[in-house]
Amino acid sequence: MITLMRFLMLTGLALFPIWSNAAIKHVIYITFDGVRWQDIYQHHENFPSIWLKHAKHLTFYGQPESDSTMEAASVPVSLPSYQSQMAGVVQACENNECGRIQVETLPEGLLRKLRLQKKQVATFASWNMMRDAVESTEGTTYTNLGNAAVSDPDTQQSDPVMAGLNTYQDLDDPGKGDRYDNYTLAQSLHYFQVYKPTFMWISLALTDTAGHMDDIGLYKFLLRYYDEALDRLFDMLQAEHLDQDTMVIVTTDHGRGNNDDWKSHGPAYPESKQTWAFVYNGRLKPMSIEGHIKHYSTLSIRPTIESALES
């Protein structure tokens, strides 16, 4: 069972983010696994802070009847989608058992091209299988995946905050090597505050689990939690005086089936290819343009982040 009190204890308040013309020095990339476009655009009550506080500072993609579309370029399954996001091209991966990505990934490329220290390129993920998407060579970047304990990248020791969270996440272990999203979020935000990485990927996964369980109550609870998490993130950026030079990209890996098929996704549900995204302090790169319509996909992520940090 998800410990509700621990979720609520790890949320916080937010301040308004503001637009900036400053050069981008940090990118925080956030994925909400299996969150439908309908729950972003048709049901604003799922993300009240985003729509009531922050929408005017964000650029949205994939809204119905807008001038943009957004989709999963690969089959709408998690690992294939995450591999395509990190590679910038669709990979020969059709399911979650296809193994480790075979090309240099976005985090690996950033570390090499920008000559960054390992600790400056970080990934925190709830789903332990993200190891097969984030690195072609294990250990190239700083990764903390599944229920692994978090430690200082220099000393390999855990500071008091890490140690406390390590203890709680171990006691609250959901099994299968995975981790609850509240610990992934808390660990990643603490890491960002301490090390100020150039790139950080925060991958949250419980919404997809709730969908497959056909548990709409848990699913909606998680959406509200994610909304509060984004509030907390924007609050932290302003407190750390990083709100003007940090790009934040929020999206998903795939959508879900329509109506009673909402618990499913994949090739049998072509509607689950339709996704969404929103960006703070930046714009996604379109994959194609037809008239006044710009088409975006999971393949927009890598070139957008590379352009922001390499310019």
User: Is there a domain that residue 142 lies in?
Assistant: yes
Nearest to 76 by CA among 261, 240, 281, 242: 261
User: Is there a domain that residue 16 lies in?
Assistant: no
User: Is there a domain that residue 2 lies in?
Assistant: no
pLDDT for position 21: 52
Count up the domains in the chain and report the number: 1
User: Is there a domain that residue 178 lies in?
Assistant: yes
User: Is there a domain that residue 10 lies in?
Assistant: no
User: Is there a domain that residue 17 lies in?
Assistant: no
Partners of 201 in beta bridges: 29, 123
pLDDT for position 1: 39
Going by pLDDT thresholds of 50, 70 and 90, the confidence category of residue 311 is confident
Going by pLDDT thresholds of 50, 70 and 90, the confidence category of residue 54 is very high
Return all residues near 78 (Cβ < 8 A) that are at least 6 apart: 33, 34, 96, 127, 129, 208, 253, 254
User: Is there a domain that residue 216 lies in?
Assistant: yes
Average pLDDT over residues 2-24: 45
- Checking if the pLDDT of 12 tops 50, the result is no
Give the CATH number, domain containing residue 302: 3.40.720.10
Q: How far apart are CA 113 and CA 125, in angstroms?
A: 24
Q: Give me 128's structure tokens.
A: 């332990």
pLDDT for position 14: 31
119-166 per-position pLDDT tens digit: 999 999 999 999 999 999 999 999 999 999 999 999 999 999 999 999
- Checking if the pLDDT of 16 tops 70, the result is no
Q: Angle at the Cα of 228 (from 120 to 254), degrees rounded to 5?
A: 70
Q: How far apart are CA 307 and CA 148, in angstroms?
A: 32
Q: How far apart are CA 50 and CA 221, in angstroms?
A: 15
Query: 274 lies in which domain range?
Result: 23-310
107, 108, 110, 116: CA torsion to nearest 10: 110
User: Is there a domain that residue 97 lies in?
Assistant: yes
Q: What is the pTM of this model?
A: 0.93
